[in-house]
Amino acid sequence: MARRRQLYEGKAKILFEGPEPGTLVQYFKDDATAGNGAKSGVITGKGVLNNRISEHLMLLLQDIGIPTHFIRRINMREQLVKEVEIIPLEVVVRNIAAGSIAKRFGIEEGTRLPRTIVEFYYKNDALNDPLVSEDHIIAFEWACPHDLEDMTSMAMRVNDFLCGLFSGIGIQLVDFKLEFGRSWEGDDMRIVLADEISPDNCRLWDNQTNEKLDKDRFRRDLGNVREAYQEVARRLGILPEA
Ligand code: C5P
């Protein structure tokens, strides 16, 4: 197969030019980083698992009417996606306190939050992805109020759906991060879910044991990272090739 032109290399994925205009190929690496690159490593087979898990979740979300960039999986490590203009925000949805919110407000990890919380972080490695308010987003024109409303309502719908899905397979959805992009068709623009949804960007805890089945196993040196991702794939009914 002809080599594809590489457009961007991130911490866990590479984007290549797609076969048709307006498409990209998203390649899932085995590389893992934490703390904005402070810690890095390789989790053999992670890319294959995340490609399958993200495909599965994006397709289910499309079925309930959430527009996504996902078109189809090409092979074990690649998927075809729509080219979108990524909005420079990380949208984090939290059901249970863990990670940065637990630290910031001194809440014990595992405490159920009084209501679901949606947070926005400005995507900027040099600034360490700072937490931002809706006013910052609008003032600095990272998104307009309408886009912000779309992202918030989609994030809440994704949360409702994924909470139910994971609860059915004995997993608590503690929190997760989404990214959105602008997709243009002629003059029409719509906001679509982009990036990936996988144990790299969700916190997933076993219902019975509270065992972590996500990237915190890597971040906190808990071991058995690949096994945890495999367990999520197995419970979702996905049989990965690797
Ligand atoms: O670190 P923090 O508690 O803010 O993370 C909240 C959620 O967002 C976690 O599920 C984490 O995996 C995800 N996240 C991410 N990429 C980042 C920051 C957070 O996927 N850069």
Q: Which residue matches tokens 């457009």?
A: 7
Least confident of 32-36, 130-134, 194-198: 32-36
Instruction: Say if the ipTM goes beyond 0.95.
Output: yes
Q: Does position 163 have pLDDT exceeding 50, yes or no?
A: yes
Overall pTM surpassing 0.95 (yes/no): yes
Q: Does position 237 have pLDDT exceeding 50, yes or no?
A: yes
Mean pLDDT computed over 87-103: 98
Query: What pLDDT does residue 176 have?
Result: 99
Report the CATH number at residue 36. Answer: 3.30.200.20
Mean pLDDT computed over 72-78: 98
Residue nearest to atom 19 of ligand 1 (CA): 177
84/175 Cα distance (integer angstroms):
25
Q: Is the CB of 116 under 6 A from ligand 1?
A: no
Query: What pLDDT does residue 65 have?
Result: 98
What DSSP assignment string belongs to the chain? -PPPPEEEE-SSEEEEE-SSTTEEEEEE-SEEEETTTTEEEE-TTHHHHHHHHHHHHHHHHHHTT--BSEEEE-SSSEEEEE--EE-SEEEEEEEE--HHHHHHHTPPTTPEEEEEEEEEEE--GGGT--EE-HHHHHHTTSS-HHHHHHHHHHHHHHHHHHHHHHHTTTEEEEEEEEEEEEEEETTEEEEEEES--STTTEEEEETTT--B-STHHHHTT-S-HHHHHHHHHHHTT-----
Q: Does position 1 have pLDDT exceeding 60, yes or no?
A: no
| 22 shares its domain with 63 | yes
Q: Is residue 1 part of a domain?
A: no
Query: What pLDDT does residue 205 have?
Result: 99
| 119 shares its domain with 206 | yes
Q: What spacing in Å lies between the alpha carbon of 214 and ligand 1's midpoint?
A: 11
Q: Is residue 234 part of a domain?
A: no
Query: What pLDDT does residue 30 have?
Result: 98
Q: Does position 199 have pLDDT exceeding 80, yes or no?
A: yes
Q: What spacing in Å lies between the alpha carbon of 86 and ligand 1's midpoint?
A: 18
Q: Is the CB of 50 under 6 A from ligand 1?
A: no
Mean pLDDT computed over 22-32: 98
The two most distant CA atoms of the chain are separated, in Å, by: 53
| 207 shares its domain with 95 | yes
Domain extent at residue 50: 6-82
Q: Is the CB of 212 under 6 A from ligand 1?
A: no
Query: What pLDDT does residue 242 have?
Result: 47
Q: What spacing in Å lies between the alpha carbon of 3 and ligand 1's midpoint?
A: 33
For the chain, what is the domain count? 2
